[in-house]
Structure 1
Amino acid sequence: MNLLEILTLLSAVALVVARWLPAVARPRVTIAAGAVFLLSAIALCVTGIRWQLLPVLAGGVVAAPFAFSPLVRSRARRARWWLALPGSVFCVCLITTGPVTAWAFPVPVFPTPSGGFAVGTRVLQWTDPDRPENFTADPRDHRTVVAQLWYPANGPADAPRAQYLGRTENEARTVADALAGGVGLPGFLFDGVPLARTHAVPDAPVAVEGGRFPVVLFSPGSSGVRTQNTAWAEEIASHGYAVVALDHPYDSAAVVLADGRTITSATVSTGDRAEDDRLADDWTAIRAADLSFALTRLGADPLAARLDTGRVAVTGHSMGGAAALLAARRDHRFTAVIDLDGYPRGPLSPALDQPTLALTQAVTPATDPRYLPRLTDVLTRGAATNYRLTIPGAAHLTFTDGPLYLPPVPSIVGSLGRAESPRVVAAVSLAFLDSLLRKGSGDLAGALSSYGELSVFHVERGR
């Protein structure tokens, strides 16, 4: 909560408490609290009221007449305590709802990247003239993807920071509403998310030092968006990588194109398991093609001279992780793979040639029983040493920005905590990337095992 919201909260509480103060103190406290409450409420109306403050305002409004009535009516007497107590308790409950819901659905605060580079970001849009759009019947419609880059940058420390979820607050609100609708929640629950600012500077000049930067391509989860792993992307970019995350139109919850059009998700479950698996395989294949196309287009980007496209990791979360596995199987320009809790889709052959790290949530009885056997099969068949790391306390959304702004319910975001979740996922990813793309620590297994339960799949032993 910001200072204005805190003032509103405290003044509302003071109006409730004033009823219970001695007569000598009551007038001063009531007048002061009422003045602060009124001015804060007016200021909130001007700057914008978050829904979490509505019960606080309601509690203050209900309490105000009872606090002020003894001051304006000379013979007014306070109601007997046992009659006033229920009303005071009701007002306190209303007011308490404000900070509780603000804590459950906060404006996300992004962790400060720990690397040696400042981070810049830019948004690009590419159209593939060789691929018709599968989700429309118009033969003139070709596949378009929106990409966001995070890269090592130079720039003043006080430069304006990038908007979260979009290039503008309007775009961010469109995306936030679509994400809420995708999980069946009312959009107002996420109204604080578009208020967040990240640490990246839009269109900052690329860092002069650092040579050529390895590339990390990222595909979000089903109905996810390119910004869903911003904390992860900023941390990795601050350590000298260029991270490129994609929006997949008609799959991502909402994609705002350069001409202002908004494309919402068209990937809908049928309820039939076999049919849904077939559709998921098809959507994964489209995403894999998007990843390869993005790598090709990066070669023509103005940043291309600073990008080392000979050292490229393909990554993704959930369905994006499945797309990363499939893209690597099809496109040998990818050097390494990171699958963030993604169920492998599509054929298992040919085998993966690239070293692969699969991060998984803690396995519970609710986990799809096909998941680990399928993932193990993929990693066992690989032509390189592969790794599966199960992180204790992780849930499926631990591998996204979700812990920063969703209620801290372990079954939803895990139990690692808001600050620890993005730190752990980024640290594990960096250990793998540094080892594979930068010839870092020789004891990769030792580095990974410090974060959870590690399985190593060696080529010579098959596991």
Structure 2
Amino acid sequence: MNVTVFGLSLVELLVLASAVVLVLARWLPPGARRPSTLAGAAALVVSATVLAVLGIRWQLLPILAGGVIALAFAAPSLLGWRAGRRARWWLALPGSVACLALVLAGATAAWALPLPVFPEPSGAYAVGTTVVQWTDPDRAEVATSRTDDKRTIVVQLWYPAQDAPPAAQRARYLGRTAREAQLVARGEADYLGLPAFVLDEPTRARTRSVPDAPVAGGGDRFPVVLFSPGLGGVRTQNTAWAEELASRGYVVAAVDHPYDSAVVTLADGRAVRTKVAATGDQAEDDRRAAGWTAVRAADLSFVLTQFGRLDRGEIPGLLSGRLDTRRAAATGHSLGGAAALQAARQDPRFAAVIDLDGFPRDPATRPFHQPVLALTHDVEPGEEPDYIPRLTQVLQLSTATGYRLTVPGTAHLTFTDAPLFMPPLPALIGSVGRTAGPRITAAATVAFLDATLRGSPGDLAATLSRYGRLTVL
């Protein structure tokens, strides 16, 4: 169901319009009451029937309830009863106000929590996606007490693909199956302390990529971009960004970090919940964050190693012979951005780093050689006073040029998919709108990756300056 206006599809808009007509028909001139009620009733019945087949979202229930109640009170007019039998206006007014309030509440909920519609990637390639699970035999799983438990991660890849038929089924957003999507949504809601219904719509969403689509022809070898999500985040949290990069000729690999990501569904069916929890002690929480960051950084390096094996055909996969691991970037959001910085410092195989609003957590920060792009939200005076100084200090340790770009009107979640489906509150997703955040994130990072991994000519600083306040380090 394609969302068109204010988070509502055309059929849902018809339900809304018919419910409003039924509520207001009582207050129209006498000659217009009966035809308006008949038209509203017919439209409500038809549109509700269509929704019953397609699936009714919970946001539509108050709208339907308001319309049905108004229709019940309008029955005398439809049955041709005398006007004198109608309720007095002062008795009808509270009922009309209550019905209208129900309708508006449903419309507001649909606007605030819409079905996410992912932007069409603008690059030359169609986009495919696949999910793999890899176990590192050289690392023990530190989150469990079993000595034989090795570190296992789940990785989702987005890659340049051959054009798919228009009818090809697109990938689900939060998981490979409806069950996985629901598990992830419930786990994410629990982690964030939100009611489960807030993430109902993302479980139904489809993205722009095709599962396991054939890789694009031509034999080109694609640069690789590894991504670590935020603390408690999941591998799909930056899908719009990943799909845009893949359409531009990059392979993006986003990592689910078990016991850290909100929920990770393993191949054996287990759903691993996060073990991350704050203690309230700032020093202890900083120590724990440094430990999680170190594990994530090692995960990123392991994925890069696996990419090399995949490219050489040592492990099976769609992308054998198509990966250019000499042009690899470590990227991440929030704690994942801190992990990307630490991975680059520890692993010289990474050629570039992108930190999406992440506070550095590396306790052993030393000089590193990669260029860095750090996107930060619009930090208010007095907010997080250590963030920008610490980030600047770390960026200055790079022996290559670093770029710190502060994007006006943004919040911490602006750089994720959250603006596509979360309530449009400036403190939550910024004030730049639902689509501007993902668009700016993709545009700035593509410009940086093209310059650092592909050597594209042009003035990178001038390009980045279009999107915010730039500091070149």
TM over 0.5: yes
Residues 224 and 327 of structure 2 are in contact (CA less than 8 Å); yes or no, is this contact kept in structure 1? yes
Aligned-pair distance for 1:123? Answer: 0.6
Residues 232 and 260 of structure 2 are in contact (CA less than 8 Å); yes or no, is this contact kept in structure 1? yes
Higher alpha-carbon deviation: 212-221 or 350-359:
350-359
Aligned-pair distance for 1:22? Answer: 4.0
Paired residue for 2:73? 66
SS in 1 for 2:304: helix
Give the one of 463, 466, 469 matched to 1:447. 463
SS in 1 for 2:299: helix
Residues 244 and 442 of structure 2 are in contact (CA less than 8 Å); yes or no, is this contact kept in structure 1? yes
Aligned-pair distance for 1:42? Answer: 4.6
Higher alpha-carbon deviation: 237-246 or 127-136:
127-136
1:98 aligns to 2:109 (yes or no): no
Where do residues 52-451 of structure 1 align in structure 2 (5 Å cutoff)?
A: 52-72=59-79, 74-75=81-82, 77-158=85-166, 159-209=168-218, 211-301=220-310, 302=317, 303-365=319-381, 367-451=383-467
Higher alpha-carbon deviation: 23-32 or 135-144:
23-32
Task: Give the TM-score taking structure 1 as reference length.
Answer: 0.95
Q: Counterpart amino acid of 2:266?
A: L
Residues 150 and 244 of structure 1 are in contact (CA less than 8 Å); yes or no, is this contact kept in structure 2? yes
Report the number of matched residues.
457
Measure the CA separation in 1 of the matches of 2:242 and 2:80. Answer: 62
1:179-200, Cα deviation, whole Å (9 max, x unpaired): 2222211111221112211111
Aligned-pair distance for 1:177? Answer: 1.8
Q: Counterpart amino acid of 1:150?
A: W
Residues 432 and 444 of structure 1 are in contact (CA less than 8 Å); yes or no, is this contact kept in structure 2? yes
* Structure 2 unmatched ranges of 5 or more: 1-7, 311-316
Measure the CA separation in 1 of the matches of 2:413 and 2:264. Answer: 21
Aligned-pair distance for 1:210? Answer: 6.2
Measure the CA separation in 2 of the matches of 1:418 and 1:288. Answer: 31
Aligned-pair distance for 1:73? Answer: 7.3
Higher alpha-carbon deviation: 319-328 or 94-103:
94-103
Higher alpha-carbon deviation: 3-12 or 419-428:
3-12
Aligned-pair distance for 1:33? Answer: 2.6
SS in 2 for 1:30: helix
Cα root mean square deviation, aligned: 1.7
Aligned-pair distance for 1:422? Answer: 0.9
SS in 2 for 1:305: coil
Aligned-pair distance for 1:26? Answer: 3.2
Aligned-pair distance for 1:30? Answer: 2.6
Aligned-pair distance for 1:260? Answer: 1.6
Aligned-pair distance for 1:77? Answer: 1.9
Higher alpha-carbon deviation: 67-76 or 318-327:
67-76
Q: Counterpart amino acid of 1:4?
A: V
Q: Counterpart amino acid of 1:179?
A: E
Q: Sequence identity, in percent?
A: 61
SS in 2 for 1:436: helix
Measure the CA separation in 2 of the matches of 1:210 and 1:409. Answer: 45
Residues 104 and 407 of structure 1 are in contact (CA less than 8 Å); yes or no, is this contact kept in structure 2? yes
* Structure 1 unmatched ranges of 5 or more: 458-463
Paired residue for 1:460? none
Paired residue for 2:3? none
1:45-104, Cα deviation, whole Å (9 max, x unpaired): 454321211211221232122111344473552222233222212211110112211111
Residues 147 and 246 of structure 1 are in contact (CA less than 8 Å); yes or no, is this contact kept in structure 2? yes
Q: Counterpart amino acid of 1:245?
A: A
Aligned-pair distance for 1:348? Answer: 4.2
Residues 70 and 77 of structure 1 are in contact (CA less than 8 Å); yes or no, is this contact kept in structure 2? no
1:114-139, Cα deviation, whole Å (9 max, x unpaired): 11111111111111111111111112
SS in 1 for 2:172: coil
